[in-house]
Structure 1
Amino acid sequence: MKNYFPKKFWWGASSSAFQIEGAWDEDGKGMTVADYNSFQKSETQADTKVASDFYHRYKEDISLMKELGMKTYRFSISWARIIPDGDGEVNEKGVEFYNKVIDLLLEKGIIPFVTLYHFDLPFSLAEKYNG
C-alpha cells in the first residue's frame, strides 16, 4: 500500500469510551450520564450497553488499526470505569483494562493519545450535585 502522507503525519482515528466500549456495568464500572441518557432514548439513540463492544474486542480492533496503518489512536478513558462513583475508590479492573489497551497499542506501534474526559460524567455525581 502506498503511503500518501508525510512520515511525520499522524494518521489515526478517535473514539470515546461511551461510544465504543459497551460493558457498561462489567468489572465494577459505574453508570455514567451518557449511559443513563442512552437508556432513556434507546429507540432513537445508540445504546451504551454494548456499543461496538470494544471492551471485549479491543485486541481485534487494535489489530485492524495496525492493518490500516494507523500511527495513533485517540480514545477517552471512562471516569466511571476508573472511579465508579466519581469520587471514591479506584476500580483496579478498570485501570487494568486501559493498561492492556495502551500496552497493545504500543506493541503494535500505534501511539496512544488519551482524552481524560469525554461527556461521561459518573451518574452518581450528577445525582449528588444536581447536574
Structure 2
Amino acid sequence: MTAWFFFLSCAAPDLNVAYPVSVVSILFFVVFAGFVITKEQIPDYLIWIYWINPMAWGVRALAVNQYTDSSFDTCVYNGVDYCATYNMTMGEYSLTTFEVPTEKFWLWYGMVFMAAAYVFFMFLSTTAMPRMTTV
C-alpha cells in the first residue's frame, strides 16, 4: 500500500491532485477488500477491483493466517460448539462468514501478490519521478 501512495505522490502534479486521488483510492481499497462488501456481493462487472486490490490480498492473507491457527482450529470456542452447529471448526466458520477461502495456500498467494505489487508500484514510481519538477 505504501508503494501505491508513493506512486501517487510521484505521478501527481501537485498536492491538490494527490490528496483527492489518495482518498478515492482508499475508499475503493476499503470497500472492495471483502469485508464491507463480501466477494459474492460485488457485482460481476466490478469483481476485478477485488482481485487487484492490495488491501484485499493483505486482509485475506492475515485472516487465513489468524483463523487457520491451532487455537481457532477447534470445535468448541467460548461455549459454542461450531462442529455440531455449523459442521465446521470455529476458524473455518469465521472465514466463511466473510467468504474468505480457508486453504492455507492463500496466505502465500497474498504474500506473493503484495511483493509483486510493491515491485510494480515502485517501478511505476521510478518512471514517473523524472517528470517531477521542483519549484
TM-score of the aligned structures, taking structure 2 as reference length: 0.30
Higher strand share: 1
Structure possessing the higher radius of gyration over alpha carbons: 2
TM-score of the aligned structures, taking structure 1 as reference length: 0.30
Higher helix share: 2
